[in-house]
Amino acid sequence: MGRIYNGMPAKDLGTEGWRKPWSGGNGGSCLEAMKLSDGRVALRQSTDPDGPALIYTPYEIETFIRGAKAGAADFLLPDQPESRA
């Protein structure tokens, strides 16, 4: 595999290894994740598997997940008011 970079076509990362960490009644529109061999994580939109992949470091993913669990990302939910922080 060539150079892995943020925004690269997800199809260039291959088809094996993509997982849907969670899924629900959203009509199949899910985020898919792949853990890369160097520890980074690639994310893509399941409805656009050939679209861009966003590449995050382990620290960035850990920080986001911990923050989301603590409620720091609740403002992204459609039924939540925008935070003025």
Rg (CA), the chain: 14
Query: pLDDT tens digits for the chain (85 residues)?
Result: 689 999 999 999 999 999 987 766 656 678 999 999 999 999 999 899 999 999 999 999 999 999 999 999 999 888 877 655 5
Determine the longest span between alpha carbons in the chain, in angstroms: 43
Q: Is 70 within 8 Å of 31 (Cβ atoms)?
A: no
Segments making up each domain of the chain, as ranges: 10-72
